[in-house]
Amino acid sequence: MRIKRLHVELATAVTLAAVGALGATGALELGVSWSDSGPMPGYFPFYVGIILIIAAFASATQAIFRMRMGSEEMRETFLEPEQTQRVLSFLLPMVVFVVVTVFLGTYIGTALYLFYVAWRNGGYKPWIAILIGIAFSIALYFVFEKAFQVPLHKGPIEEMLGIY
Amino acid sequence: MENFELLMGGFATALTPMHITLMIVGVLLGLIVGVLPGLGAPNGVSLLIPLTFAMDPVSAIILLASMYWGALFGGSTTSILFNIPGEPSSVATTFDGYPMARSGQSTRALTLAFMSAGIGAFVGIVVITLLSSWAARFALRFGAAEYFAVYFLAFCAFIGMGSASPIKTAVSLSLGLLLSTVGMDTVTGSLRLTFGLDALLSGVSFLVVVIGLFGIGELLATVQDGLKFRGVASRIDPRDVFKTMLELPKYITTIIRSSAVGVWMGITPGGPTAASFMSYGLARQWSKPGAKFGTGRPEGIVAPETADHSAGTCAMLPMLALGVPSSATAAVMMGGLMIWGLTPGPMLFSTQPDFVWGLIASMYIANFVGVILVLLTVPFFAALLRIPFAIIGPMIVAICFVGAYTVANSTSDLWLVLIFGVVGFVFNKLEFPLAPLVLAMVLGSKAESSFHQSMIASDGSLGIFFSNYLVGTIMTIALALLIIPQTLKFIQYLKSHKSVDSAA
């Protein structure tokens, strides 16, 4: 089944309303009424959450209304299969990059990520792709750790290599 | 005259070798950021802020502001040479810039864009110089209630005057406000909405959100359509540059009209993007007969560029004088100011005159430096876009994540960037505006604490927001901005409906 723009509009609205509800219920625990010193801590987030829920539903209603009025835009496919494939081939390595970075450190993660994308998506020879990855990691090291003295996240392998 | 003396003092601060170097570095970084897809002014500035923690605030703001000017110039470069707007605010420049470049006049198109951008920026800075002391003195009369009214006005103006759907703008604003309440409450000191997660104790950093929304989100939007860079030759011929400069006086009315639009949209929260489109539209309506717009007409380049840059510079005025930024980039810079321990607003002018006037003076110099640098380096920066995306794309991604990590040295922020990257992509596709979300995140805690203070002062009566002429007027304007455009649209809708009915 093709996912139309209308479906995504509705899904987004429901998600946003859920976020609003989450905020509002979280705020309820803090007290949303008035105390001697003015509004209680939950007051502001509670009402903002309520406004978000209302606005999200209004946005959903508007989308349905426009669909009923015969808007072509709402009937459009949200992402063509080709586009989905392009977005995923970019997004998935990025997710893996984050996981690897969290566990193995920035430099290893970055080098592997650049290597993989240049090799798989860019069609470079593996050894050139590896060189690109390593060169960029080294550049990051010198810019951040040396020039600006900002330490980046490190993992066990960096520790083994004695990079602090 | 008092402003003039202060400005001279500012030049003394700005014209040190160190600060001039920072301006050049800032403009060059900005050009890179402006040229590359996925890196725009707001998230370029966000990425740079963590690196400025150790600098003194004057140097830091000069660096960041120069980067902003560079990004504005860079965005126009790709619009003209590649038909790819590097920044949302340079979309209107593609309409006539790219056709002119394709007809073999790329030097003329670029020179027109950069010169009119420089002039637009200059007009904007003159306005800031003349108005800032006055605006700050005016704002000194503000109490908590007035401040809340001003924030409220900014939110309402986004809903009423923004180019996006009002409902979607309201969604973005309230989502930003809700995110700003996560973590330690500045008024009562209690922890809010952390849901037992340690990562949320210190709140959700707007820098991280900006990097996700504008960086990763925009990259995903770029890859979905596949990248086709059909570039135009980017060699700059100095003789053409001078010929084009001599051509500029012909467009004087366009320049004046466009800078007026830019100044207005920059001070009110219309922002540079809206300004450039509006100015392009006006130029098309008012122009003398001649070649059609969209086929490489010079006014079609001059108008959006002038407005874009005058709006970009003028956005600094409400940020400095009131603490209310009117563009996403200004909002990020204001967040930076607060991180450096400065309080944006009228007090800044009396307590930190060096900072304020150093920044204003640096804007004159940096924009001048920018025009020259961009003319000299265009071929080099255009070459950046010829690097295959399979290499430059992951590099941009890596820089975004590294930048997000340096905000608070926390790996949980990496997940946030990923989440907000997807949010940014979906919001982009569904036309939810992103700038209001950023503005709300930066202003959220200030809006809340001013609301809190006014409520304490009034014993919980909302009447305080109409208790004197000043606050009452601001509130009325805010409500008018919220209601009138919607009512007009509704009336128009009813009318068009009626005419359809009667026709049937």
User: pLDDT per residue over B189-231, tens digit each?
Assistant: 788 888 878 788 888 988 999 999 988 988 898 888 776 656 6
- Tokens 């390593």 label which residue? A134
Per-residue confidence (pLDDT) for residue B169, from 0 to 100:
92
| Cβ partners under 8 Å of residue B447, min gap 6 | B148, B151, B152, B155, B177
Contact: A26, B391; criterion CB under 8 Å = no
**Interval B17-23 mean pLDDT:** 93
Closest by CA position to B445, among listed B269, B320, B323:
B323
Contact: B390, A124; criterion CB under 8 Å = yes
Tokens describing residue B369: 């430096």
How far B404 CA lies from chain A's nearest CA (Å)?
10
| B144, B251 contact by CB (below 8 A) | no
- For residue B353, pLDDT over 60 is answered with yes
Q: Which residues of B195-231 are buried (b: 16+ CB within 10 A; e: fewer)?
A: eeeeebeebbbbbbbbbbbbbbbbbbbbbbeeeebeb
Tokens describing residue B227: 């990248």
B500 confidence band (pLDDT: 50, 70, 90): low
| A141, A94 contact by CB (below 8 A) | no
> Which chain A residue lies closest to B173 (C-alpha atoms)?
A52
B234 confidence band (pLDDT: 50, 70, 90): low
What does residue A4 show for φ and ψ, rounded to 5 degrees? -90, 165
Torsional class of A2: left (φ above 0), alpha (ψ -120 to 50), beta (otherwise): beta
**Interval B355-372 mean pLDDT:** 91
| Distance, CA of B32 to CA of B34 (rounded, Å) | 5
Using a CB-CB cut-off of 8 Å, the residues of chain A touching B220 are: 87, 90-91
Opening angle at CA B305, ends B299 and B306, nearest 5: 85
| A40, A33 contact by CB (below 8 A) | yes
Q: What is the full DSSP assignment across B175-208?
A: HHHHHHTSEE-TTT--EES-TT-GGGTT---HHH
| Cβ partners under 8 Å of residue B238, min gap 6 | none
User: Amino acid identity of B208?
Assistant: V
Highest-pLDDT range among B32-41, B83-92, B163-172? B163-172
Q: Is A33 on the interface with B (CB under 8 A)?
A: no
- For residue A32, pLDDT over 90 is answered with no
Write down the mean pLDDT value for chain B. Answer: 86
| A118, A124 contact by CB (below 8 A) | yes
Per-residue confidence (pLDDT) for residue B185, from 0 to 100:
80
| Distance, CA of B216 to CA of B409 (rounded, Å) | 19
Question: pTM here?
Answer: 0.88
Q: Give first-to-last CA distance, chain A, whole Å.
A: 51
Highest-pLDDT range among A54-68, B178-192, B269-283, B324-338? A54-68
Tokens describing residue B1: 């005259």
Of A102-106, B254-258, B289-293, which gets the smallest average pLDDT?
Answer: B289-293
Per-residue confidence (pLDDT) for residue B154, from 0 to 100:
86
Question: In this predicted complex, what is the ipTM?
Answer: 0.94
Q: Is A32 on the interface with B (CB under 8 A)?
A: no
Q: Is A142 on the interface with B (CB under 8 A)?
A: no
- For residue B233, pLDDT over 70 is answered with no
Per-residue confidence (pLDDT) for residue B160, from 0 to 100:
82
B258 confidence band (pLDDT: 50, 70, 90): very high
| B474, B150 contact by CB (below 8 A) | yes
B459 confidence band (pLDDT: 50, 70, 90): confident
Domain ranges of chain B: 2-454
How far A148 CA lies from chain B's nearest CA (Å)?
7
**Out of B171, B394, B414, closest to residue A56 by CB:** B171
Long-range contacts of B497-503 (CB under 8 A, 24+ apart): none
Mutate to test the interface with B, among A6, A8, A52 (most CBs of B within 10 A): A52
How far A22 CA lies from chain B's nearest CA (Å)?
9
- For residue B236, pLDDT over 80 is answered with no
A3 confidence band (pLDDT: 50, 70, 90): confident
Using a CB-CB cut-off of 8 Å, the residues of chain B touching A140 are: 398, 402
A130 confidence band (pLDDT: 50, 70, 90): very high
- For residue B163, pLDDT over 90 is answered with no
Per-residue confidence (pLDDT) for residue B319, from 0 to 100:
87
**Interval B275-279 mean pLDDT:** 88
Q: Is A110 on the interface with B (CB under 8 A)?
A: yes
| B185, A47 contact by CB (below 8 A) | no
B504 confidence band (pLDDT: 50, 70, 90): very low
User: Amino acid identity of A151?
Assistant: P
Closest by CA position to B66, among listed B357, B342, B363:
B363
B232 confidence band (pLDDT: 50, 70, 90): low
| Distance, CA of A147 to CA of B48 (rounded, Å) | 13
Q: Which chain A residues in 55-94 lie under 8 Å from chain B, judged by CB atoms?
A: 55-56, 58-59, 62, 78-79, 83, 86-87, 90-91, 93-94
**Interval B486-501 mean pLDDT:** 78
Tokens describing residue A116: 């993989």
Contact: B397, A97; criterion CB under 8 Å = yes
**Interval B343-358 mean pLDDT:** 86
Domain ranges of chain A: 5-75, 81-160
Using a CB-CB cut-off of 8 Å, the residues of chain A touching B192 are: 26-27, 30, 41-42, 45
Closest by CA position to B195, among listed A140, A29, A4, A101:
A29
What is the Cα B234 distance to its own chain's centre? Answer: 27
Per-residue HEC secondary structure of B65-89 comes to: HHHHHHHHHHHHHHHHHHCCCCCHH
Q: For chains A and B, count residue pairs whose Cβ atoms are closer than 8 Å.
A: 160
Per-residue confidence (pLDDT) for residue B348, from 0 to 100:
86
| Distance, CA of B325 to CA of B268 (rounded, Å) | 9
Q: Is A5 on the interface with B (CB under 8 A)?
A: yes
Contact: A20, B193; criterion CB under 8 Å = no
> Which chain B residue lies closest to A83 (C-alpha atoms)?
B224
Contact: B393, A90; criterion CB under 8 Å = yes
Closest by CA position to B402, among listed B422, B417, B383:
B417
- For residue B27, pLDDT over 90 is answered with yes
- Tokens 């003349």 label which residue? B130
> Which chain B residue lies closest to A105 (C-alpha atoms)?
B411
Q: Kind and range of the H or E element at A156?
A: helix A156-160
How far A38 CA lies from chain B's nearest CA (Å)?
5
Per-residue HEC secondary structure of B24-38 comes to: HHHHHHHHHHHHCCC
Q: Is A117 on the interface with B (CB under 8 A)?
A: yes
Query: How far apart, in Å, are the Cα atoms of B476 and each of A45, A120, B147, B495?
Result: 24, 59, 14, 27
Contact: A101, B429; criterion CB under 8 Å = no
Per-residue confidence (pLDDT) for residue B121, from 0 to 100:
93
Per-residue confidence (pLDDT) for residue A124, from 0 to 100:
92
Tokens describing residue B323: 């603490």
Contact: A52, B175; criterion CB under 8 Å = yes
Mutate to test the interface with A, among B29, B188, B451 (most CBs of A within 10 A): B188
Using a CB-CB cut-off of 8 Å, the residues of chain B touching A49 are: 174, 178
Per-residue confidence (pLDDT) for residue B203, from 0 to 100:
87
Secondary structure tally for chain A: helices H, strands E: 7, 2
Say how many residues make up chain B. Answer: 504
Q: What percent of chain B has pLDDT over 90?
A: 29
- For residue A99, pLDDT over 90 is answered with yes
Contact: B391, A121; criterion CB under 8 Å = no
> Which chain A residue lies closest to B397 (C-alpha atoms)?
A94
Closest by CA position to B273, among listed B421, B164, B160:
B164
Q: What is the full DSSP assignment across B310-362?
A: HHHHHTHHHHHHHS--SSHHHHHHHHHHHHTT---STHHHHH-HHHHHHHHHH
Q: If DSSP codes are grouped into helix, strand and coil, which group holds residue A105?
A: strand
B423 confidence band (pLDDT: 50, 70, 90): very high
The Cβ of residue B494 has, within 10 Å, a number of other Cβ atoms equal to 10
B293-310 pLDDT per residue, tens: 888 889 899 999 999 999
B42-85 pLDDT per residue, tens: 888 999 998 888 888 999 999 999 999 998 888 888 888 888 77
E-only strand ranges, A1-159: 34-35, 38-39
| Distance, CA of A62 to CA of B462 (rounded, Å) | 31
**Out of A41, A62, A113, closest to residue B192 by CB:** A41
Tokens describing residue B194: 């952390």
- Tokens 């907000």 label which residue? B420
Closest by CA position to B21, among listed B367, B369, B312, B337:
B369
Highest-pLDDT range among B38-42, B82-86, B112-116? B112-116
